[in-house]
Amino acid sequence: MEEAKGAGSCGSHQCGHSGGGCGDKFLNPTPMLDELENGPWPSFVGGFKELAERTKKPMLRGVMDQLEYSYNTKMGYWKGGLVTVDGYGAGVITRYSMIKDKIPEASEFHTMRIQPAPGLHYNTEMLRELCDIWEEYGSGIITLHGQTGDIMLQGIEQDKVQECFDRLNEKGWDLGGAGAGMRTAVSCAGPARCEQACYDNLELHLHALRHFVSQLHRPEWNYKIKFKFSACPNDCTNAIMRSDLAVIGTWKDAIQVEEPAVKEWIEKNGVDALVNQVINLCPTRAISLENGGMKIESRDCVRCMHCLNVMPKALSPGKERGISLLMGGKNTLKVGVNMGSLIIPFMKMETEEDREAFMELVEEIIDWWDDNGLDHERIGESIERVGLKQFLEGVGIDVDINQVARPRDNPYFKAKY
């Protein structure tokens, strides 16, 4: 194995300098990483260098030396372990170096997952406090936001984790989820900013967080499970692709049409634009041209949101609003990528009683999965393994025609005698 340079030497730069860095520079030469700064796109390497030269944190120099070494040897050198704070069983992602004897400055580089508020609402005072605390105890590197939905505070040593968490907790921050339990939920801006919102996803997100806070901090299930709350079918949180429980705002009646606004849109853009940009792009041909205007056949509408996005002043979601629950979305692991399957076509979500009923349903679903799922198996994989029919029977949900993903190849069936 090639001998690692850095963290006390000048790497490949032959200047005879024996301390960390070279000359007046804090960092060691990293020619492989430097290549990533070429080209028109921003590079994380430039950000790392700026932060390291400004803060003079040896951890940052060590991590860049180790990454340079990894690029040269084409191997990764991080391993896991266990780092926690008092009373918690999750929330810190451990990173121990396997070559700390070669690069001691990179011996530890743990990540703290910090849970954001629903809809990612912050004020500047909160963010300044977060940055100041993190730069005091950790590397100063922050990711807003990781694919988990958390604020990722990347780079801290084990003996500083508890004190850092205590300071953050005093300011109102809490750790996010990790391990085989409830993970940090994600929600879009919802009714706080969006006119398309069909339910208060921020309120339901907060309700779910409070309900499952113990399972979030102390994992107890077969594997992880994630909520994402999108307030309308635009699904700005990418819930259907990336969450086990995708809660999507929807409506039950017809799209609301403001005829004067439709005429204004046609006068501005023309009938050809209406046909080419709206009618012809409806996936189910639910819209037709009628008397120079538009007619929507509600029974054919699949809530794709295209027409509402093109004509937001003229069209809006129906008046009878609520949620749809889709389950099983995930990225590659055992059975490849899955999108969520529709389980609950429509459910009202207006009152505290509605939210409690939803939580009871989710509890029933998780109990079934905890009893029937295999170790390290996502809930969508469990449903695919045993069959949707067995799952619906197990949790007491009635079969609905809207749950059918595709028709059977065989049109015949046998009735029970």
Structurally, what CATH architecture does the domain formed by 179-252+320-416 represent?
Answer: 2-Layer Sandwich (3.30)
Task: Give me the mean pLDDT over the 320-327 stretch.
Answer: 97
Confidence at 4, pLDDT banded by 50, 70, 90: low
pLDDT per residue over 80-130, tens digit each? 998 999 999 999 999 999 999 999 999 999 999 999 999 999 999 999 999
Question: Residue 374 pLDDT > 70, yes or no?
Answer: yes
pLDDT per residue over 176-230, tens digit each? 999 899 999 999 999 999 999 999 999 999 999 999 999 999 999 999 999 999 9
User: What confidence score (pLDDT) does residue 249 get?
Assistant: 98
Out of 9-23, 139-153, 207-221, 248-262, least confident range:
9-23
Crossing angle of helices 124-137 and 158-170, rounded to 10° = 160
Count of CB atoms situated within 10 Å of the CB of 367:
12
Q: Supply the pTM of this predicted model.
A: 0.88
Domain ranges of the chain: 179-252+320-416, 256-316
Out of 17-31, 117-131, 236-250, least confident range:
17-31
User: What confidence score (pLDDT) does residue 3 get?
Assistant: 52
Domain 256-316 has CATH 3.30.70.20: yes
User: What confidence score (pLDDT) does residue 326 get?
Assistant: 96
Task: Give me the mean pLDDT over the 291-306 stretch.
Answer: 93
